[in-house]
Structure 1
């Protein structure tokens, strides 16, 4: 829980840093906006002094109304879906702004409050009211659009990072799901071999150590060398051979160029484990498992099959397609590869259970 809290804290801090509006940004925005507006209206009136005066009066009103809308009206009424009340209050604010701007302009600058108009305007006419309120609304909308866009980018980035972290966590969990029963059984075998003072005991311990080292360290990477994955499979099979002794017949074929080929770690082991779990442990009599791995160009063709347990054949149990091992592999393929990168088929034929995987490596 502590680690998750820390991750959330770091994630939020990084996202806020990436898409945050500081005081410096506010100042720069309004200074640039003020300069452009002053130059614009100075050119229109051919009087930059008048433009400077009117903007000095108008911009504090712009700023106050923009921030009042962004930090009060929108959170309180728009985000809570009170749109009618929001519209009413916005119109009321624009009207109050109109009265304030008219009186400040009239008494501090010029009685002609609308010099760009067709004639002299010394009272609040309909044209003056509409022009001023729409102009004010334009400024407020522009500032609000910037704030909403930055907020959306921040939330979108945060959501993306959370999804990415969730996928990474899920993949790590799936990679770690090799049956603990395998290790218990192997340790029991080691115990029996040590009691018998068998020469096989040191070899079994060494192979188990290599397998555990691979599980601990290689699975931290997103991709692992294909050759290392196959070495892990061979160690796993060697350990299972000891467990089942002469009742187990395994045919293994490995071919192709594996140099510079990579694969998601522990992707194939659950498929091999599945053969022993559902084939070897449930069969009575001869057990046959066939494994063929071939690398051609950029693709690995992995085919594994095992004898269907006699109880399942006699009871006409449906083909196994939803075991934990197979579900694990399907989920990892979905999370770690694109649909174009792999083909997975699972079927039963001639009392043999088959899993065929074509994977881009």
Structure 2
């Protein structure tokens, strides 16, 4: 049974990659030192002795010392144990080389050197530190890459979750009121009933299905907004006055789904008041095929706006900003202001 201390909680590199790394490093070292000494047989024997010790020290450092001490900020303990480990490896390596490979324990030195001298200890330990540092750096690079991908995946999951959350915020009472109005139209056999059914169907398709797509055409999103406005007119009649301006070419622009509709819904959350007129102005502007500017202005009910601001649940400006951050990082501009008794939203996003 594997000890819990050796359990790696980060990215797990496949075993075959470990094998290929050590085989490649071993072959490189044999050729390098064989060429240096002009004695490939000696290089092969010495590396066969030393590499198992390299491997033991490397994995001891990566899978035991780092998780147990470095990640727990026990730096002094780590340094002490690592230094002791280096001296143990030094003794084993020196003795094994002496008895199995050569009596000259340091053939690369210019003069004959004895074991356990300061120079020999420093040379061997620096060699071990080099191997440990190289292998640990490679492992940390893999871990960093894995962690970056994991964070990106979590952001995508969070984005999808928030999209679903925003989808759920299209108020159920909107659908119920529309259905009630539709029921009233069918009772009097109004010619408007089929049109209402189609528009409601389009809105429900958008909210339930199209939201799963990463991007939709801007023209399609605007069409859904118009259907939404038409259905709200069914509720409020002539009390709704809306204008939609499109400036520039929007034919090929794609945008994330449900990006604009929550702002339109807020117009009616904040603007509704008994027998009052709701004025809504919507604008989409293409700036040099680089930026899309979305504006919406509506007359508002101050009390309704205050209640919405104080809510602990709901879409809210903070939630919308968070979604924009996930979608566009810092590459967007968002402003909401109140001027001349109108609530104004301006959103500037890049055109992809």
Would you say 1:147 and 2:135 are equivalent positions?
no
1:85-100 equivalences in 2 (<5 Å)? 85-100=77-92
How far off its partner does 1:212 sit? 1.5
TM-score, normalised via structure 2 length: 0.80
So what's the TM-score if we normalise by structure 1? 0.78
**What residue in structure 2 maps to residue 289 of structure 1?**
279
Which of the numbers 175, 184, 187 marks the counterpart of 1:183? 175
Match of 2:127 among 125, 130, 135: 135
Deviation of 1:341 (Å): 4.7
Q: CA deviation at 1:263?
A: 3.1
SS at match of 1:142: helix
Q: Gaps spanning 5+ residues in structure 1: where?
A: 1-15
Please report how far the alpha carbon of residue 303 of structure 1 lies from its aligned counterpart in structure 2 after TM superposition.
4.5
Instruction: For 1:230 and 1:239, locate their aligned partners in 2 and report how far apart those are by CA, in whole Å.
Output: 14
Which stretches in structure 2 are left out of the alignment for 5+ residues? Answer: 1-9
Q: Judge which range, 298-307 or 38-47, deviates more.
A: 298-307
Equivalent residue number for residue 102 of structure 1: 94
The residue that corresponds to 1:6 in the other structure is none
**Structure 1 residues 133 and 178: alpha-carbon distance in aligned structure 2, compared to 1, 3 A threshold:** same
Shift in CA distance, 82/277, structure 1 to aligned 2, threshold 3 Å: closer
CA distance in 2, matches of 1:268, 1:356: 11
Q: Distance in 2 between matches of 1:254 and 1:91?
A: 72
2:69 is the counterpart of 1:77 = yes
When residues 191 and 65 of structure 1 are mapped into structure 2, their CA distance, relative to the original with a 3 A threshold, is same
1:348 equivalent among 321, 335, 339: 339
Matched position secondary structure for 2:339: strand
- Kept after mapping to 2: 8 A contact 1:342/1:360: no
Separation of aligned partners in 2, 1:360 and 1:107: 70
Per-residue CA deviations over 1:144-197 (Å, capped at 9, x if unaligned) read: 222232223222221222122212322342244212111111122223333444
**8 Å contact 1:106–1:122 — kept in the other structure?**
no
CA-CA distance at 1:290 after TM superposition: 3.8
For the structure 1 residues 170 and 114, does the alpha-carbon distance in structure 2 shift closer, same or farther, using more than 3 Å as the test? same
Whether contact under 8 Å (1:193, 1:201) holds in the other structure is yes
Contact 2:155 2:326 in 1 (8 A): no
Q: How many residues align?
A: 336
Aligned to 1:7: none
